[in-house]
Every structure is written in C-alpha cells, then in structure tokens.
Chain A
Amino acid sequence: DGGITQSPKYLFRKEGQNVTLSCEQNLNHDAMYWYRQDPGQGLRLIYYSQIVNDFQKGDIAEGYSVSREKKESFPLTVTSAQKNPTAFYLCASSMWPVDTQYFGPGTRLTVL
C-alpha cells in the first residue's frame, strides 16, 4: 500500500528536550512538508523540501529543524528553542511543482 506514515502517534516531551518526529512516504513524491495545527486552527507550514538535500523555511520555522537525506524521509526535530510546541504535527507529500498534497496520520506532541 502506498502512503505516508508518521511516528510516533503520541509524543510527550519534557521542557528543554529536543524530540524528532518521523515521516516516511512510499508514493515516490518529490516534495515533502511539515505543518503544525493548533486546536481549532488551520495548518501552518513549518518547512518543506522539493528535492533531496534541500529544504525551505515555511511561515513558522523558528525552533524547528529538518533534514532530507533520502527522498522517502523528512524528519522534523522540535528543539528546546520552540517556546510552545504542544500541537498536532502533520506531514504531507506531493509531486513537484505543487500538486495535491497527501497527508500522514499526524503526531500529537505534548510538553509536560
């Protein structure tokens, strides 16, 4: 089955810790994206990548970092510099130029 997987589904972080969220796709898509969704809000773009070894900041990149070493994988690290990381994180992928984005199931991050 082709699709996008994210892990873990739930993640708890202590203050001051860095955590990494996994995103993998087997759709052979060129582009991958990370979004953040706060309760009752829309999606805000954190980072996106059009090709391997290249990525661009989105609207709210501060406190986050990414890498794109493989076409299939686009992990997101939430660093201790992110002041309010509790949110629902969604990964997506698409062909490039921008085409329909397909979303993974999401990771719900809670800071304790």
Chain B
Amino acid sequence: ELKVEQNPLFLSMQEGKNYTIYCNYSTTSDRLYWYRQDPGKSLESLFVLLSNGAVKQEGRLMASLDTKARLSTLHITAAVHDLSATYFCAVVQEGVGNEKLTFGTGTRLTIIP
C-alpha cells in the first residue's frame, strides 16, 4: 500500500524567511503533484513533476522530485503572508488499470508578518 508522508505537519514562519516542506512516499512512482488549499476552500493545482530531477518554479515556490529517494520538496523563498495555506503532495499509485492519486496529510503553513 502506498503511503505518503509530509513534514512538517505545521509550520509557522516569519515573512521574508526561506523554508522547505518535504514529501516522502513509499512505493515507486514517477508522477507527483502539489496542491494548495486555503481554509474552507477547495484545492488548487500548483505543480506536476513527471520525472526524476524535475524542478518547477512559480513565484516564490519551487518544487523538485527525486524518484530514487522517493522524495519531493516544496521550497518557499522569502515568504509572504499570501502563501499561508495548507499544502498537499499527491502521488500516483500505479497498477494495472488502477491508477489513482494518494494524498499526503498536508502541511499547514502560517506566515507571520
């Protein structure tokens, strides 16, 4: 069974600082997704990482994938208050005609002015 773990679960950081969220998964996969969720809202797609070594950047967020280590990171540069949200990674569980996403537990990020 595929397990997806994120850490930390909660992160409180000051504006202007850098930090990294980690996503570990337990079985082979070469596709990983990052989503953002604001309180009480739905999920918004941020990145899809399709191969080993893939790196994607959007504004102050940068995501990377190491399929050999089964690890993805979401790096936040010079955090601003607008980035406060819960961030989820999700991994494709591959199987014969049975592909589906398994989500991590989420990292709740709070940026303090």
Q: Are the chains A and B members of one assembly?
A: yes
Which of A's residues lie within 8 Å of B, judged by CB?
33, 35, 40-45, 48, 56, 58, 90, 92, 97-98, 100-106
Contact residues in B for A104 (Cβ distance below 8 Å):
42
CB nearest neighbor in B for A48: B100
Contact residues in A for B108 (Cβ distance below 8 Å):
40
Is B100 touching A45 in the complex (CB atoms < 8 A)? yes
The residue among A33, A41, A101 with the most chain B CB atoms within 10 A of its own CB is: A101
Contact residues in A for B13 (Cβ distance below 8 Å):
none
Is A97 touching B99 in the complex (CB atoms < 8 A)? yes
Q: Does B12 contact A (CB under 8 A)?
A: no
Q: Does B25 contact A (CB under 8 A)?
A: no
Contact residues in B for A43 (Cβ distance below 8 Å):
43, 88, 90, 103
Contact residues in A for B99 (Cβ distance below 8 Å):
97-98
Contact residues in A for B100 (Cβ distance below 8 Å):
33, 45, 48, 58, 98
Contact residues in A for B33 (Cβ distance below 8 Å):
100-101
Q: How far is the CA of A105 from the CA of B40 in the complex (A)?
A: 9
Q: Does B68 contact A (CB under 8 A)?
A: no
Contact residues in A for B102 (Cβ distance below 8 Å):
45
Question: Could you write out 20 A-B pairs with CB less than 8 Å apart?
Answer: A33-B101, A40-B108, A41-B105, A43-B90, A44-B103, A45-B102, A58-B100, A90-B42, A98-B31, A98-B92, A98-B99, A98-B100, A100-B45, A100-B48, A101-B33, A101-B45, A101-B90, A103-B44, A104-B42, A106-B42
CB nearest neighbor in A for B93: A98
A102-B45 contact given A45-B100, A48-B100, A58-B100, CB 8 Å threshold: yes
- Shortest Cβ gap from B41 to chain A (Å): 7
Q: How far is the CA of A48 from the CA of B92 in the complex (A)?
A: 14
* Additional A-B contacts beyond A45-B102, A98-B31 (18; CB < 8 A): A33-B100, A33-B101, A40-B108, A42-B103, A42-B105, A42-B106, A48-B100, A56-B98, A58-B100, A98-B101, A100-B48, A103-B42, A103-B43, A103-B44, A105-B41, A105-B42, A106-B41, A106-B42
